[in-house]
Structure 1
Amino acid sequence: MSGHSSYRPGSAFGRAIHSIEETLIAFILGMMTLITFVNVVLRYLFNDALIWGLEVVLILFAWLVLLGISYGFKMTAHLGVDAVINLFDKPGKRNLALISAFCCIAYALLLLKGAWDYWAPFAALQPTEGRWFPMGFATGVRDRAFYVTDQVPMLGIFRWLEDAINYGDSYDKLPRVVPYFILPFSAALILLRVLQASWAVVTGRKDSLIVSHEAEDAVADAAQNRE
């Protein structure tokens, strides 16, 4: 079972979101490749480099990984070990899938809390109190809105952040609140995709949250294509 064959957007809105998600992932990957290629050419042919190139590629790589996690849940593309699961009959497999879904939801909730608590001070917002569960918002936490990236230049489209969170002071580099925004955003998206995948298991539209027997399916597909 391949992930791509198991997912079909059911509405025009779903197809639009799916298209945006795939386009964004492809764009990030393309930009990483382009910036790295330009830097190699500049370094070896002109003894120069984009001073911000490496940092931007690292940021884009983090975005790609975090967005890819939620995309993998949506496409049922995450690999998993099903040796133990296959020892059970169909009802047993379904029960184990439901337990797995519950664990994933709990983890996604903890991830969302942790991501918000880390990002919030960079946006001059308050993190939540409580170690495991949010017990309200903390007070008196010193914001980190003035923290900037090491080399990434400030972009004009984000100048509004200077008045919004930096008390009118100008940024000479891109504030960290921008690249770090991917943390709560991707965590929320992961939670959404896990809830959607879990509901598909509950309703019987999916048997598992992982892709199973990928190698056997690839061999079967190849054999079918030769016929």
Structure 2
Amino acid sequence: MSSHSNKNMGFEESAIALILGLMTMVTFTNVVLRKLFNSSLIWGQEVTLILFAWLVLFGVSYGVKITAHLGVDALTNIMPPKLQKVVALIAAAICIIYAFLLLKGSWDYWAPYAALDRTSGRWFPTGFEQTRDQAWYITDQVPMPEFLRFMEGWINQGETYDKLPRVIPYAILPIGSALLLFRFVQATARIWRGHQGSLIVSHEVEDEIEQMQDKKAEG
């Protein structure tokens, strides 16, 4: 199990807490409006779905950060310690490659909404290729916040947005992928230094859960 721990809230923890708070606030407000005033926030459901997508993708990198992802270690547990480390490093290298490919794909999907170019190359970026501008795409119901009007001159050629542009909710794709890549690189470094055994949750956590369940049963 990794000895890596954070006493203070990190980036993902803060983002997850904020997103959960916003989701709760929007949902609660909608419930109150429906029950008491026979009304609703027409954009509430779409905002909640967007926030949930951000929550999931932040959660993926957070899981790597705290070594919380599940995995099967029946085979590696019977290997000698040195071989376990070699296998863990190979697995980590594969995960880094996967995260890099995911980052490329995420950028290529998001870039047109930001009036930017996709990368060239099928698997690995070899440069940038001219891409059709899709910055005018907007969300279905989410209103455009006034403090974001500066984006109209930046990416939409001065044209007014009547709804929130998709570039903002879709930004979690490259952000989440970049965070995932960063956390995999961090985990690989910890494995190399011997501070972490693998990328998956260890049996120590399972033992702690069993102990908690035993205490609950005794109580």
| TM-score using structure 2 length | 0.91
- 1:208 aligns with 198
Structure 1 contact 121–144 (Cα < 8 Å) conserved: yes
Q: Tell me the secondary structure at the aligned position of residue 143 of structure 1.
A: coil
- 1:159 aligns with 149
Alignment of 1:129-208 (within 5 A): 129-139=120-130, 141-208=131-198
- 2:101 aligns with 110
Using the alignment, how far apart are the partners of 2:184 and 2:11 within structure 1? 19
Identity of aligned residues (%): 56
- 1:60 aligns with 51
Q: What RMSD over aligned residues (CA atoms) do the two structures have, in Å? A: 2.1
- 2:73 aligns with 82
Alignment of 1:28-67 (within 5 A): 28-67=19-58
Using the alignment, how far apart are the partners of 2:215 and 2:26 within structure 1? 41
Which deviations, in whole Å up to 9, do the C-alpha atoms of 1:102-137 show, x marking residues without a partner? 110010000100010000000000000111011110
Q: CA deviation at 1:82?
A: 1.3
Which deviations, in whole Å up to 9, do the C-alpha atoms of 1:145-175 show, x marking residues without a partner? 0000000000122111100010101100000
**Residues paired across the two proteins, number:** 216
Q: CA deviation at 1:21?
A: 3.2
Which deviations, in whole Å up to 9, do the C-alpha atoms of 1:45-80 show, x marking residues without a partner? 322110000000000001011111111111111121
Match 1:7 to one of 4, 8, 26: 4
Structure 1 contact 80–212 (Cα < 8 Å) conserved: no
- 2:90 aligns with 99
Structure 1 contact 66–182 (Cα < 8 Å) conserved: yes
| TM-score using structure 1 length | 0.88
Gaps of 5+ in 2: none
Give the letter aligned to residue 187 of structure 2: A
Gaps of 5+ in 1: none
Which deviations, in whole Å up to 9, do the C-alpha atoms of 1:168-195 show, x marking residues without a partner? 0110000001111111111111111110
Q: CA deviation at 1:220?
A: 4.2
Q: Tell me the secondary structure at the aligned position of residue 125 of structure 2.
A: coil
Give the letter aligned to residue 161 of structure 1: M
Give the letter aligned to residue 136 of structure 2: F
CA distance 1:217–1:91, shift in 2 (3 Å) = farther
Give the letter aligned to residue 160 of structure 1: F
Using the alignment, how far apart are the partners of 1:167 and 1:224 within structure 2? 63
Q: CA deviation at 1:143?
A: 0.9
Q: CA deviation at 1:89?
A: 2.0
